[in-house]
C-alpha cells in the first residue's frame, strides 16, 4: 500500500461507516481517509461522529467532485478533500500535510 510504503502506519480499512467509527474508538488514528459511496449528509454526519470521538483527528474525504461537496465537508470539519482520480503521490502528500506534528 502506498501509505505504508511512505512510512505511515495503517491501522486498517473499514467496510462501512459503522466499522470505521468502531475502529476509531479503539485505535485513535491521527488521520482518517473517508472513501465511501455516501450521500453528502451522511458524510457530514460521519465527520461529526469522528470528531466527537477525537476532536483532533485529521479527516480527508476522497470523492468525485460534486458541486459544493468539498466546501461542505471542509465546513463539517474535514481537513482536506481529495478529488478522484488522484495519484498515490497526491494521497501521501495530503496525508503528510494534515497529520499532526508530534
* Whether residue 1 has pLDDT greater than 80: no
Q: Which helix (H) or strand (E) holds 61?
A: strand 58-63
Q: What is the mean pLDDT of residues 24-32?
A: 93
Q: How far apart are CA 58 and CA 41, in angstroms?
A: 19
Average pLDDT on 85-100 reads 92
Nearest to 33 by CA among 58, 54, 15: 58
Average pLDDT value for the chain = 90
Delineate the domains of the chain, giving CATH numbers in brackets.
2-96 (3.40.50.2300)
- Is this structure's pTM higher than 0.85? yes
Amino acid at each position: 500500500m502506498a501509505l505504508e510504503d511512505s512510512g505511515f502506519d495503517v491501522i486498517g480499512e473499514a467496510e462501512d461507516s459503522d466499522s470505521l467509527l468502531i475502529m476509531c474508538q479503539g485505535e485513535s488514528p491521527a488521520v482518517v481517509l473517508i472513501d465511501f459511496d455516501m450521500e453528502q449528509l451522511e458524510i457530514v454526519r460521519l465527520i461529526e461522529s469522528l470528531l466527537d470521538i477525537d476532536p483532533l483527528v485529521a479527516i480527508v474525504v476522497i470523492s468525485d467532485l460534486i458541486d459544493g461537496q468539498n466546501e461542505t465537508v471542509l465546513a463539517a470539519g474535514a481537513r482536506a478533500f481529495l478529488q478522484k482520480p488522484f495519484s498515490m503521490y497526491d494521497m501521501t502528500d495530503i496525508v503528510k500535510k494534515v497529520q499532526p506534528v508530534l
